[in-house]
Amino acid sequence: MTINGNTQAQLFGMGAEVPTASALYQAAERVRDAGYSRWDVYSPFPIHGMDRAMGLKKSWLSALVFIAGITGLTIAAALQFYPSSIEYPLVVAGKPTDFFTVPAFFPIMFELTILLSAFTATFGMLALNGLPRWNHPIFNWDLFKKVSNDGFFLAIESTDPKFDEESTRAMLESVGAKHITLIYGD
């Protein structure tokens, strides 16, 4: 089977559609158990428990955010302590400028912790997802437009060591998938 009559293009993988979220969940368990490694399921919304059904580990975005938070805290502490207590103590209304004024620095330490963490959460998520990107071979599959509406899809990439046109097709058929299609890149 070909897309747009183009057989010369690089094969991306094999896609298939299932009717519901629960069918996708069950299909994912079967594909996982069949030992595939380079594949994904696509849905209009995140499906509860799908990470386990696919055998995925927890996202490590949280580790990145933690590091960013510590960085923000450190920057804020340095930004305030060094000039305000050591280099250029600013005496306002005769109040002290020593270490014991530290509670006055807490709000900005908090704010910068949050700020850097939030930037890292958003941009870290995009980086881990390989976004932004202009295009992706799976968008060559016409049916795939439904994924952001009510479509549930699986796609097994041709680079998967277990990928084999016939056995993969048979496996997808056995989980009840429809519209099994070979997807080509540009």
Partner 1 sequence: MADAIMQSREAAAERLKRAPLVTNNRSMSWITNHVASCTEKPAPTWWWIAFTLSSSLALVSVFCIGYLISTGVGVWGLNHPVGWAWDITNFVFWIGIGHAGTLISAILFLTRQKWRTSINRAAEAMTLFAVVCAGIFPAVHVGRIWMVWFLAPVPNSNAIWQNFRSPLLWDVFAVSTYFTVSVLFWYTGLIPDLATLRDRATNKFRKFFYGIGALGWRGGNRQWKHYEMAYLILAGLSTPLVLSVHSVVSFDFATSVIPGWHTTIFPPYFVAGAIFGGFAMVLTIMLPARAIFGLHDMITDDHVDKMCKIILLTGSIVGYAYAMEFFIAWYGGNMYEQYAFINRATGPYWWAYWTMIFCNVVAPQLFWFRFFRRHVLSVFIVCMFVNTGMWFERFVIIVTSLHRDFLPSSWNMFYPTWVDIWTFVGTFGIFFALFLLFIRWLPMICIFEVKAVLPEADPHHGHDDQAHAPVGALKEVAH
List residues binding partner 1 (CB under 8 A): 20-22, 24-25, 28, 40-51, 53-54, 56, 58-59, 61-62, 65, 79-80, 83-84, 88, 90, 92, 95, 101, 104-105, 107-108, 110-112, 114-115, 117-119, 121-122, 124-126, 128-129, 131-136, 138-139, 145-150, 155
For partner 1, the closer of residues 7 and 159 by Cβ is 159
Residue 176 CB, nearest distance to partner 1 (Å)? 14
**How far is the C-alpha of 111 from the C-alpha of 10, rounded, in Å?**
49
**How far is the C-alpha of 84 from the C-alpha of 71, rounded, in Å?**
20
Residue 155 CB, nearest distance to partner 1 (Å)? 8
Residue 184 CB, nearest distance to partner 1 (Å)? 16
For partner 1, the closer of residues 145 and 178 by Cβ is 145
Residue 186 CB, nearest distance to partner 1 (Å)? 14
Query: Is residue 159 a contact partner of residue 100, using CB atoms and an 8 Å limit?
Result: no
Residue 18 CB, nearest distance to partner 1 (Å)? 12
Bridge partners of residue 39, in order along the sequence: 156
**How far is the C-alpha of 158 from the C-alpha of 37, rounded, in Å?**
11
Query: Is residue 28 a contact partner of residue 37, using CB atoms and an 8 Å limit?
Result: no
Q: Both tokens of residue 35?
A: 């030992």
For partner 1, the closer of residues 7 and 178 by Cβ is 178
For partner 1, the closer of residues 1 and 114 by Cβ is 114
**Which of 132, 111, 144, 115 has its CA nearest to residue 15?**
144
**Which of 38, 5, 21 has its CA nearest to residue 163?**
38
Which residue's structure tokens are 């450190």? Answer: 74
For partner 1, the closer of residues 9 and 61 by Cβ is 61
Residue 20 CB, nearest distance to partner 1 (Å)? 6
**How far is the C-alpha of 44 from the C-alpha of 153, rounded, in Å?**
10
For partner 1, the closer of residues 7 and 122 by Cβ is 122
